[in-house]
């Protein structure tokens, strides 16, 4: 239910005062990040999150695509859209919406939408409904490098870009948008173990290694399994090709315009390589972040290979 003007104004007033009482740290791009409900976010995001929690009513047929930023979000949105709408839009059609629209413009679309909000802050409406949640995570070493490059491509509000060394120190301390990354991952990971029919947990590296298998798993989870006829007809491969990084990056629609706030579409696509961190992180940085990963994720059953 949409909030009334009075409710919206009340929320605006609350959110104007709220950041003053919240813990804050220097932001990567903005002047500050605020610790809200246990995770870090910009002050401008707090009102949207609170409004979402108070007023969004989930339907049992909704599909939520969730991730921490720069973990394969755009890719997963494209795949989820193509899979759930393949009978309406044939994957190998020259007029497929993904050839003319950025994935972020298509999601939300009908009953499909995406979020970076941690599981605990999604709100009771989503948590208690039969809505499906698909979460994608990525090796934190690669996520850090991708995040740093992305946020330094957009104009920092604070002036000069943040150095990799300073950003890395903050990342290891959990100070990053919607982080700490370990809490973000574990929230969805634990829920996927408790309710596997509710939350599907995907790893970026697994999807790069065996895309067809992961795509079929995604389709089955969403309630749109591929038929034998579709598999024999190459539908799985057609969707994988349509949504692959190389194809999306070369599309004109993804070279111009903006689909997320002031972020230009062209900045959403960099390398999409597994292990690209080796080109940027020193041995000491790798050792430190690997230790953080082990300390924070150890014993959970969730882990990442540093060296394949």
pTM of the model: 0.86
Q: Is 150 helix (H, G, I), strand (E, B) or coil?
A: helix
Domain limits for position 170: 59-297
Would 163 be classed as within a structural domain?
yes
Would 50 be classed as within a structural domain?
no
Would 207 be classed as within a structural domain?
yes
186-236: per-residue pLDDT in tens? Answer: 999 999 999 999 999 999 999 989 999 999 999 999 999 999 999 999 999
Q: What amino acid positions are annotated as catalytic residues?
A: 116
The domain tally of the chain equals 1
Instruction: Tell me the two tokens of residue 46.
Output: 């707090």
Would 53 be classed as within a structural domain?
no
Q: How many residues does the chain have?
A: 308
Q: What are phi and psi of 192, to 5 degrees?
A: -65, -30
Confidence of residue 2 (pLDDT cuts 50, 70, 90): low
Would 153 be classed as within a structural domain?
yes
Would 63 be classed as within a structural domain?
yes
Pairing between strand 63-67 and 32-36?
Answer: unpaired
Would 47 be classed as within a structural domain?
no
Q: What is the CATH number of the domain that holds 175?
A: 3.40.50.300
Confidence of residue 242 (pLDDT cuts 50, 70, 90): confident
Residue 176: which of 135, 146, 133 has the closest Cα? Answer: 146
Helices (H), 69-123: 73-84, 103-106
Would 190 be classed as within a structural domain?
yes
């Amino acid at each position: 239910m949409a909030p009334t003007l009075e409710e919206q104004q009340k929320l605006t007033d609350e959110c104007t005062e709220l950041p003053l009482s919240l813990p804050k740290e220097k932001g990567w791009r903005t002047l500050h990040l605020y610790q809200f409900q246990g995770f870090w976010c910009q002050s401008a995001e707090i009102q949207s999150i609170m409004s979402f929690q108070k007023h969004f009513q989930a339907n049992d047929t909704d599909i939520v695509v969730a991730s921490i930023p720069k973990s394969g979000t755009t890719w997963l949105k494209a795949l989820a859209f193509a899979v759930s709408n393949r009978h309406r839009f044939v994957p190998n059609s020259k007029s497929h919406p993904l050839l003319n629209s950025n994935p972020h413009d298509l999601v939300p679309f009908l009953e499909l939408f995406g979020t970076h909000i941690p599981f605990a802050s999604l709100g009771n409406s989503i948590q208690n409904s039969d809505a499906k949640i698909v979460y994608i995570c990525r090796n934190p070493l690669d996520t850090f490098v991708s995040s740093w490059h992305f946020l330094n491509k957009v104009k920092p509000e604070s002036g000069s870009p943040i150095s990799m060394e300073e950003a890395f120190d903050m990342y290891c301390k959990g100070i990053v948008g919607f982080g700490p990354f370990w809490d973000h991952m574990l929230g969805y990971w634990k829920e996927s173990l408790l309710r596997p029919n509710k939350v599907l947990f995907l790893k970026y590296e697994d999807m790069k290694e065996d895309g067809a298998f992961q795509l079929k798993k995604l389709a089955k989870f969403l309630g749109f399994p591929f038929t034998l006829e579709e598999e024999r007809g190459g539908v799985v491969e057609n969707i994988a090709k349509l949504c692959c990084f190389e194809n999306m990056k070369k599309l004109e629609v993804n070279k111009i315009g903006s689909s997320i706030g002031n972020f230009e579409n062209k900045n959403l696509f960099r390398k999409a390589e597994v292990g690209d961190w080796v080109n940027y992180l020193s041995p000491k940085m790798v050792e430190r972040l690997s230790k953080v990963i082990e300390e924070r994720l150890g014993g959970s059953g969730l882990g990442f290979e540093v060296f394949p």
